[in-house]
A and B are shown apart, each in its own frame.
Chain A
């Protein structure tokens, strides 16, 4: 066991910390600050800030230098995730592009795609959406019905995507489309990179249970895309999609732990304020959450070790997803249980604002659905890790 980072990695931490201290306005560290802004204001502020961060060399930490990345180590990425949370840095606006699309392009994209897509994405000049889910294709992704028909050197696309994060801000969308008429399931699909700024593409916001509208619907009506704007080969969309989704495995438990642990401390502080901190049942429930959060932290160190040793995480990532998403959701259930009626009030006292808590509380219901629901993850663990029959 050696739970330290290298000297070079610690040096990186110092540089990043210094930059963050100088570049995060104090008001951003106020709980609930981002919720005081409209979706668009918040988005544009974050987009601008992130572009500055990129210019300062603090984006694409692990990406090769040739793609504008920093060429850093997995340990640096973990440190980056930890420090940005600690400094209250805002969430990235290009999460789907940066997490999924960019590494897939680096792996199997054409030279043109590499040259044209990655730089603008890193600088947030182009915001990417992920167009996988459809009304009839959620967990069963292979049921997608959006179809593309070849017309000269372009595909003409018709159909609908749903639950598309950043639909209203998106410039482009990586989309699973059925390009082979009459094909079924995993066959005949292609990953098309479609420009959203064209007449054939319409995005409509969807209001979430929290009241926010981070996702929306995307309608394709004779939308056009060049046949060369396909990631991977035409007809090999399923393979491309599986490769793309495998990059979620880098998701950082170190950053998540830092964030959730702060939320735990915030909830404990409210429990004290409302006289609930001496109740043995409340103490038991919150401590149970802490156990799971600490386990997430250890698990993150385990995963980082695997990554540093070049091991393929494979289906183990399903376990990571289950642990973080369920622990996070349980924490917010504990908030409700422990605070009782006060938990439901945005202003239980004139000087207390619980609305940032409600935003997290309600968000926590989504994390066990997106990115593969908990049920789907349990199927994967049971079948691919434990080897139980299908």
Chain B
């Protein structure tokens, strides 16, 4: 039994964490947050991540990747969440996953090396306004290799060179399609998310030419959504842990009534419960990543548990962060809102906590 990260995986986590601390700390994050019209994609950060193999982690070795699994990828996602790091990491990794899962050999060799090296930014458009994250919420149609419809919210569409779009064909079957930046009939509109650590837009397709992924069928769409759910959950767990750690550190030192506020049992018990919840969410993400890596028969349950637990943990830990910092936590100058807003933007992506629970009911009732 080995339910833990290996030494190499821990070292990988430290590398990314230390890189962020050195080269892209909260001051740098603030720079991105306070420049809402900027592309939210600092190149120093992107290059650094590429240098560490953070973009290549899931790409097979024959396409210049590291050929590792989701357990390794979630290490990166957690570190990025903890650092509230901006940029299209998850979007690019998922675009590459779509190619790895469903692309032809030719499509893979055309795109994967560039995605792994960070030369091309990728993104995925898997759902339309108001839709569910299970393939039923797709609002793009495909006919004769042309896409029509819309997708939203999409991460970092303005900087993406390659977009993987889920679209339904005339028979109602979903599949995956490649659209290149600047394709005819493609419009990208910035949707101005309040989470300043991301850039999010809506896509409109009007007879936009698209290339089908060789085996981009329903199964591939589901596989991509599951991977998205787990890596998004990993980011949320990173956010949650860091929010909790910062809150505990502050409440240890902050004095009121002549004692540290962290000595009050009302805070202690709330923080202890959060510690348990965040730890369980960490376990859940690790297990779900491993389940996907090994094609465990319980994967669907594991993904839903991770998605649900991680969003609840992040939601609660970041709300508590503001509350237990008091007034300072409510200010713009404080970093609590970076964590809070990131948690709330990400919690509903790839299925909200309640949607994951409904999936669990459907799986076990």
Contact = CB atoms under 8 A, between A and B. Distances in A.
B259 A386 contact: no
A290 B267 CA distance: 27
Interface in A365-390: 375, 377-379, 381-383, 385-390
Interface stretch (B21-29, B91-99, B278-286): B278-286
B269 interface: yes
B1 A4 contact: yes
23 contacts: A1-B3, A1-B290, A1-B293, A3-B1, A272-B365, A277-B365, A283-B358, A284-B357, A294-B301, A294-B302, A295-B280, A299-B280, A299-B283, A304-B1, A322-B276, A377-B272, A381-B272, A385-B275, A388-B252, A388-B262, A388-B263, A388-B268, A390-B263
Given A5-B1, A290-B364, A298-B283, A387 B268 contact: no
B2 interface: yes
A354 interface: no
Given A1-B290, A298-B280, A304-B3, A288 B275 contact: no
A265 interface: yes
Interface in B239-265: 248, 251-252, 259-260, 262-263, 265
Contacts of A291: 284, 305, 308-309, 357, 360
Contacts of B284: 291, 294-295, 298
Given A291-B308, A294-B305, A385-B275, A301 B354 contact: no
A292 interface: yes
Contacts of A271: 365
A323 B276 contact: yes
Given A298-B3, A378-B269, A389-B252, A265 B263 contact: no
A302 interface: yes
B365 A301 contact: no
A95 interface: no
A311 to B, nearest CB: 10
B170 interface: no
Interface residues of B, number: 42
Closest 3 CB pairs of A and B: A382-B268, A287-B357, A283-B361
A312 interface: no
A102 interface: no
Interface string B348-365: 000000100110110011
Contacts of A301: 1, 3, 287
A73 to B, nearest CB: 10
A305 B360 contact: no
B4 interface: yes
Which one of B1, B3, B4, B273 has the greatest number of beta carbons of chain A within 10 Å? B1
Nearest to B279: A319
Contact of A1 (B286, B360, B364): B286
B158 to A, nearest CB: 36
Interface string A270-314: 011000010010011011101110110011011011001000000
A225 interface: no
B260 A389 contact: yes
B271 interface: yes
B253 to A, nearest CB: 10
B116 interface: no
Contacts of A264: 364
Given A284-B354, A287-B361, A298 B248 contact: no
Interface in A1-32: 1-5
A378 B280 contact: no
A273 to B, nearest CB: 12
A359 to B, nearest CB: 23
Given A2-B2, A386-B248, A295 B309 contact: yes
A232 interface: no
A268 interface: yes
A378 B290 CA distance: 30
